[in-house]
Structure 1
């Protein structure tokens, strides 16, 4: 199997591990910077070039597309899909998951537990929003924020009103969520591959920090998920249409609450916390789909 890994850098941990795992199973793995690809479109002829070299002969692609380049990254991935190359995560599923508001609406429609959330485009209704949310403390997030950036804990009603006003003054789009006190500055990252949780870790923020992101100095440890937490993670990934996903959730008194579903979850934290070969699980899934596809063509 000839595999394309869409990534900005070959030296990134996740990219390197995927390449190693593919080569360990006897496959050819090529790292392609999606921002250096040229898409060629004409009637009955689709092609793509990477730094001047035509991309041909690929059987599958594993996308590692950063949030800041979702538009172009998914355009490149879509071209692969139209060239009949299997993708570990589809372009539409990635686009869907990157829209935080849309993904929350879809998760809620799927009946999954989640923190109470509000969104508004009207800057003069801060008081009503806070009242509808049940008062402070509240979490206020930028819709476009990643890795814990653009996330604020407003501990009082006055602080919440000021933060919302400030973001609206900057024309920033935000969501407001209830603060889950019993989570104690911790969350769970469940890694899902093809409908199965293959690893999970509990992330805890450093002292004095309510955000648990590892990029913000948080720590990670192995955790054994409850049956309800596993089921919620699988259902959340399925709701987004993602076969590979990092599902972030909070442990609450009313059960697991889904925060976000990530389409390009990092491998370093989860592999180090669990000791599991997550990269190998991903390649195994891609390999199985490739073999199934080849078998169908042979029997056609």
Structure 2
């Protein structure tokens, strides 16, 4: 066969292999299996929150998880909004039984607890022996925040560049003990889009947060409900088509070394090391002298402090080992 034809056939074969490798769905956490796949955390809050994390039995008894209201096929996780306690408000924190090493994590969320004074919600990934195996905060904010804060926390030796993303890089050293930053600041990227957190997010029916974790970078995208890519809906996600990510963590960091064996976590805490610490810096300070006093005395305001999760889907690289990255469909020659 003519060498040019051989080259064309080889190129076509290579392109086809790349185009079908992509990401393969490995785990699909939805309402029917959601709580079976996660373990409730019932220890004292490591972030010193004014909270009592309860087990599934107590959460169900107090109608804090499961089928509460007309939520269709989504998974509900709320807090106690009926009683008061001087030892903290009851809430739920859950950790996936399965741990991961890289992958694509797509969370379809219809409602989140953000934007309420005293509340500190988060959706994140965390490894053992914190912070040596890393933490990826995908959704996080406190009190009356209207936009999302995304952060990595690591041991020493991990920093990020400031380009390649639409969010604003606030800090660049991911080390929790970085000498030039406040303790535990990590490398934070701030969004200025009110559609991706709290009241703005909920008003639109939520949307999708997609987090791609590879050996080269950790990237986070947000898509509001009306703009979710068709490839996500079809369970064939193609990150090359999604445009500039909201956060793009790359640069001076060996990601494979700093991020390992990570579990998914959902939680809603109150006050503590962030929401409580900045209580006097915003409008929430006018509601009570302290964050703890407000959370204890105003149960009803936390009725809206709930997660409503349609699904969390985890994808791994296909058998070809190559991710979809703008594969060309045509063959020259």
> Structure 1 length as normaliser, TM-score?
0.28
Relative CO higher for 1 or 2, CA cutoff 8 Å, sep ≥ 6? 2
More helix by share: 1
> Structure 2 length as normaliser, TM-score?
0.26
